[in-house]
Structure 1
């Protein structure tokens, strides 16, 4: 048969189980998986490319649905679409969904999206496939009534992100309700950054008056209660509006428990966590010589190992829908990066001036797979949260599965106990001058990354072999996970 590529002798993983050799050959033609079964190599035409997985896990290409690149002025995010997507494929991620940000003064979100399309195509295009979320900060009637339907039905953008924090991003509860009413009607997924901004500002003011401004006090200014209260409030608003939401970057046991309780009541509440909350504790913010600034993100990494345990449990028991990177990178040794929070003359730090965010799009998948190696989660659950669920939640209809008819986005790992790697920034492919995981030993790393049938990363055969510009924009459908329950007839709901 006429195949372009066959992956053979691998353990093919889906959320529902694994397919073992010799019945796990994957055949690819024109960028699409066409067959899965046994003996496909024996019926392939001469010249078909064959990759022997050598008994290793074979998973779908990673889908990272929380990525900030080419966003903001100055040093806010220092990876562009070129280096950000390059870094993604070198870590096994074949599709990202990143943020196009509406500013408070923007009246036309269609222009915002057009501008981000131009950014993605500039400087040679992207290495991996991509889509956009819209960060919505000015939900005017024109935006909600006229422009969101165009984004949803014509532009293939089926998700928005709302902030409960930051002066230049924050929406009040009534504004959030108005957005949820509209996104429910349009079948869009609404992401919410849940932190109580009034609490944070009050604590920052108190800390600054006491001179407690080193990087560690960033974590002090955002105690777990700040997230927990906002997460509970966001869930309450979503329940009132009977609208699906996803709470991004959950970092505490209490917030996880709020999500679990809502799901137990059959509410369409989804949640995301990130590797930084699975591996880092707030002591890293105390590193000398201002190096603690490298770890400033929001919510902050926590001080209690119990939170780390709770998050791994939340992945294992299905509370968390997705595992995302929240890749939001600033350089450390750069005047417009993390050192914005340090007065070079006085050497006085000011944590509130440090750009928020960590690099992580390349390390997300290996860090998630380490949970499999350590016995914290199953390999099926890893695929579910890192590949399949992100595709379903955000309407990536041909991503996230290894099955006929799906894009041939495939990651081939190393066989068990055959490979180990220590994370070093010098070996990563982003534009950032550090990684928060420097020196962390892992048991595996993607051996091959395949995007739509093309090998783009071959770790033992030259590393990065994909061509910039091969990535393409993916129009997305609506949420393919749990939807609102229209059977509720005895309770008040807003008229839609």
Structure 2
């Protein structure tokens, strides 16, 4: 048989196996994996790893905020950045705003925003209001329409839910059959710590980390898991920053609590010291929970190897350094409490984890594929359509040069943000081609996919 495209001579890597072989593609799907396949078009992958495209389960893209602003990265720029970094599916966030519109209307409006994406996208629905309509009608209906899961915040003025409201969401999610992901930090305690810092005139970015210590993440994580266990509802703990939090997750899992966890590259390659830079420079590294210490990073790897943490997402939340929507929107002398939390990371997720994980012996190549592609695809009901190289799967594939050494610069990343916190960092291992739905979306850092090439994807039935 002759296929539309054959990727030849590469080393195919999945979560379970590594072997030499060819991949035959017809249309948007993988049609065959074997030896000596013939294609009308041939891509030579000699010396390259052929892996399933990344699935990034935590991306803030063109997201509406309560103050009327919209995140700077549009679906066009964010999906271009994803392709540049070897990612072919993003799971992003529909906001739940106090604007009088129903949850379903807000979800559908966000689905339409995504039509400009160059790659496939799924959606988490944020829940900030637990009125009767949202609980009884909204949540069941967005699940029916294909939401990947719900998200709840335990912190932030405009988003946090108290325990009673969180329990209502957990129960509604259980009844509807979807997962709840949680941002775990203690709102009241953080508010207290911020007030104390400001009263002492401790306003620079370094105090962002000091006002959000690990114990407040640990307490909120424990509390979230207790409530999830009470309702018998599966939850995911987002962006785990340190081993003492994973220790609580591990203990809860052993007790039978239905909890899973993800972390992000910033917790392996940045530290709290990055925020302790002259002037306003530390704002470039501010996210929540904040990066911790090198010892914490080493401890996280041990839990990754054990499978307690089994997904690594980017938590791409890009705010430029300058500009009306950026981190300095209130001036470079603004207190840390007014600086937007979040850093860009779509394009750098896979290179950073490959370099820190595989090259440094923290994880195997197969574990890498599982962490950045297969496991998130499974978690959000997209596997085996996404996250693997097998007949019938979408032809979302990244060709990876494990020997290519790159110095990260913002100019390589294709996002709308004016900086990267990883500027000047050297990594070994870089994507040289990304295929999305059987089409070459990126070749040698040139973006070839057009706006609208991607589609909304819902969890597969039975997942």
| TM-score with structure 2 setting the length | 0.96
Do residues 182 (structure 1) and 177 (structure 2) align?
no
Cα displacement (A) at 1:469? 1.5
1:37 aligned to which of 34, 38, 44: 34
Question: Residue in 1 aligned with 2:363?
Answer: 377
Tell me the residue number matched to 2:290: 300
Q: Which of 337, 344, 356 is 2:341 aligned to?
A: 356
In 2, Cα distance between the equivalents of 1:67 and 1:227? 21
**Counterpart of 1:63?**
55
Alpha-carbon distance, 1:55 to partner: 3.3
**Distance change (3 Å), C-alpha of 1:75 and 1:358:** farther
Kindly tell me: are residues 81 and 249 of structure 1, through their superposed partners in 2, closer, same or farther at Cα, counting changes over 3 Å? same
State the Cα distance separating 1:434 from its structure 2 match: 0.5
CA distance in 2, matches of 1:70, 1:62: 20
Contact 1:190 1:246 in 2 (8 A): yes
Partners of 1:13 and 1:58 within 8 A in 2: yes
Q: Does 2:297 align with 1:323? A: no
Greater shift, 264-273 or 210-219, is seen at 264-273
**1:35 & 1:187 partners in 2: Cα distance?**
34
Q: Confirm or deny: 8 A CA contact 2:122 2:148 kept in the other structure.
A: no
Match of 2:25 among 28, 50, 55: 28
What corresponds to 2:377 in structure 1? Answer: 391
Structure 2 partner of 1:143: 134
- Provide the residue aligned with 1:196 in structure 2: 186
Structure 2 contact 305–363 (Cα < 8 Å) conserved: yes
CA shift in 2, pair 1:478/1:440, >3 Å:
farther
Contact 2:344/2:417 (<8 A) preserved: yes
| SS across alignment from 1:413 | strand
Verify the 8 A CA contact 2:318 2:344 in the aligned structure 1: yes
Name structure 1 gaps, 5 residues minimum.
481-496
Please identify which structure carries the higher strand content: 2
SS across alignment from 1:218: helix
Instruction: Tell me the alpha carbon deviations over residues 29-70 of structure 1, each in whole angstroms, 9 at most, x when there is no partner.
Output: 0111111111213xx4xxx11112113221101000100011
1:10 alignment partner, SS class: strand
Q: SS of the counterpart of 1:445?
A: strand
Distance in 2 between the 1:263 and 1:385 partners?
19
Please report how far the alpha carbon of residue 422 of structure 1 lies from its aligned counterpart in structure 2 after TM superposition: 0.6
- Residues 176 and 74 of structure 1: CA distance in aligned 2, closer, same or farther (over 3 Å): closer
Following superposition, the deviation at residue 76 of structure 1 comes to: 5.8
Q: 1:423 aligns with which of 402, 405, 408?
A: 408
Pick closer, same or farther for the CA change 1:342–1:478 going to 2, 3 Å.
Answer: farther
Aligned counterpart, 1:16: 16
Closer, same or farther in 2 for the Cα pair 1:314/1:106, shift >3 Å? farther
Q: Does 1:89 align with 2:75?
A: no
Shift of 1:423: 0.4
| Distance in 2, Cα, partners of 1:307 & 1:301 | 9
CA contact (8 A) 1:423 1:441 kept: yes
Q: RMSD of the alignment, in Å?
A: 1.6
In the alignment, what sits opposite 2:392?
405
Equivalences for 1:148-297 in 2 at 5 Å? Answer: 148-153=139-144, 155-297=145-287
Q: Report what 2:457 is aligned to.
A: 474
Unmatched tracts of structure 2, length 5 or more: none
CA-to-aligned-CA distance 1:279-322 (integer Å, 9 cap, x gap): 001111122231111111110111x2111011122222111121
Question: Could you list the per-position Cα deviations for residues 123-156 of structure 1 after superposition, in whole angstroms to 9, with x for gaps in the alignment?
Answer: xx11111111100001222112212222112x11
Q: Which runs of 4+ in 1 moved over 6 A?
A: none
Structure 2 distance, partners of 1:15, 1:337, is: 38
CA distance in 1: counterparts of 2:69 and 2:103, whole angstroms: 23
User: Larger radius of gyration, structure 1 or 2?
Assistant: 1
In 1, the alpha carbon distance for the partners of 2:44 and 2:148 equals 38
CA shift at 1:107, angstroms? 5.2
Residues 341 and 212 of structure 1: CA distance in aligned 2, closer, same or farther (over 3 Å): farther
> Within 2, Cα distance between the matches of 1:105 and 1:13?
47
1:448–1:456 Cα contact (<8 Å) kept: yes
Shift of 1:248: 0.2
Q: Matched residues in 1 for 2:266 and 2:100: separation?
A: 32
Cα shift at 1:478: 6.8
Q: Are the equivalent residues in 1 in contact too, given 2:51–2:369 (CA < 8 A)?
A: yes
